[in-house]
Chains A and B, each alone.
Chain A
Amino acid sequence: GAGVSQSPSNKVTEKGKDVELRCDPISGHTALYWYRQSLGQGLEFLIYFQGNSAPDKSGLPSDRFSAERTGGSVSTLTIQRTQQEDSAVYLCASSLDGTNSYEQYFGPGTRLTVT
């Protein structure tokens, strides 16, 4: 079946603009995660959704970052007033539920470049 998909695959934006990154999880997966992969920082957890709720937003680096999930499916990560330090690959993952009993399946990522 289809895996986790993300769009766009690449995004170049000017500093100060807003961007939206989209994630389509595997059908039936109730848990969804966003991570960020940047040079020097490795992979960092951003936010976790169980259904449409986000019980853990602790990894969002600032209030310019927000995310939502609708219909227990698609999620959007929004970055407002982008800064150069936001340049990274943003990865989405999903799993059957939000415990470590189930594998997290990762999408191919969105590479964001802020100029």
Chain B
Amino acid sequence: GDSVTQMEGPVTLSEEAFLTINCTYTATGYPSLFWYVQYPGEGLQLLLKATKADDKGSNKGFEATYRKETTSFHLEKGSVQVSDSAVYFCALSDSGGSNYKLTFGKGTLLTVNP
């Protein structure tokens, strides 16, 4: 079955540091890939997505590139801010009949200190 593996947290960085959160996946079809973010006290929000190989999703300074050869979708940001402190979830929805279903990684807690 489909699965998503992302780096264990927590991750603690200083403001303006470079961020990478690793994500790899296993899927039977040709999945779409997503990063969701959950800010403290708020619901999950879509951060970015990519629907096919070599696509780059980007939003709010975050980027992730769909790498089919390494089955990866690592999240990066060049300079994090305190306001980026949140839990980040990598997710996929597979192609085919159950493409409505999101399969999530376990989440990575990011704390950015001033």
Partner of B46, one of A44, A98, A99, A103: A103
Question: 1/0 contact trace for B93-112 toward A, CB 8 Å?
Answer: 10000111111111100000
Contact A108 B32 (CB under 8 A): no
Per-residue interface assignment for chain B, residues 26 to 51, with 1 indicating a CB less than 8 Å from any chain A CB and 0 otherwise: 00000010001000001111100001
- Is A12's beta carbon under 8 Å from chain B? no
Q: Check if B89 is an interface residue, CB within 8 A of chain A.
A: yes
- How large, as a class, is the contact surface on chain B? 20 to 34
Set of chain B residues within 8 Å of A106, measured between Cβ atoms: 36, 43-45
- A35 to B44 Cα, complex, angstroms: 11
Give the residues in chain A near B105, CB-CB below 8 Å: 42
Interface size on A, residues (CB 8 A): 25
B100 near A100 with CB under 8 A, answer: yes
Chain B residues lying within 8 Å of A107, measured Cβ to Cβ, are 43
Q: Does residue A45 face the partner (Cβ distance < 8 Å to B)? A: yes
Whether B107 pairs with A43 at a CB distance below 8 angstroms is yes
Residue-wise, chain A 58-102 has the 8 Å CB interface mask toward B (1 for contact) of 000000000000000000000000000000000101010011100
B43, chain A: closest CB distance, angstroms: 4
Known A42-B104, A43-B89; contact A100-B43, beta-carbon cutoff 8 A: no
Taking CB atoms, residues of chain B closer than 8 Å to A42 are 89, 104-107
Instruction: Tell me if B100 and A48 are in contact (CB < 8 A).
Output: yes
Instruction: Pick from A44, A91, A98, A100 the residue with the most CB of B within 10 Å.
Output: A100
Residue of B nearest to A100 (CB): B93
Are A48 and B101 in contact, CB atoms less than 8 angstroms apart? yes
If A56-B98, A99-B99, A100-B93 touch, whether A91 touches B43 (CB-CB below 8 Å) is yes
Closest 4 CB pairs of A and B: A42-B106, A43-B104, A100-B93, A106-B44
Beyond A40-B106, A43-B89, A43-B102, list 10 extra A-B contacts (CB 8 Å).
A4-B43, A43-B91, A44-B104, A45-B102, A56-B100, A91-B43, A95-B100, A99-B99, A106-B43, A107-B43
Q: List 10 A-B contacts (CB under 8 A).
A: A3-B43, A35-B102, A35-B104, A40-B106, A41-B106, A42-B104, A42-B107, A45-B103, A100-B32, A104-B46
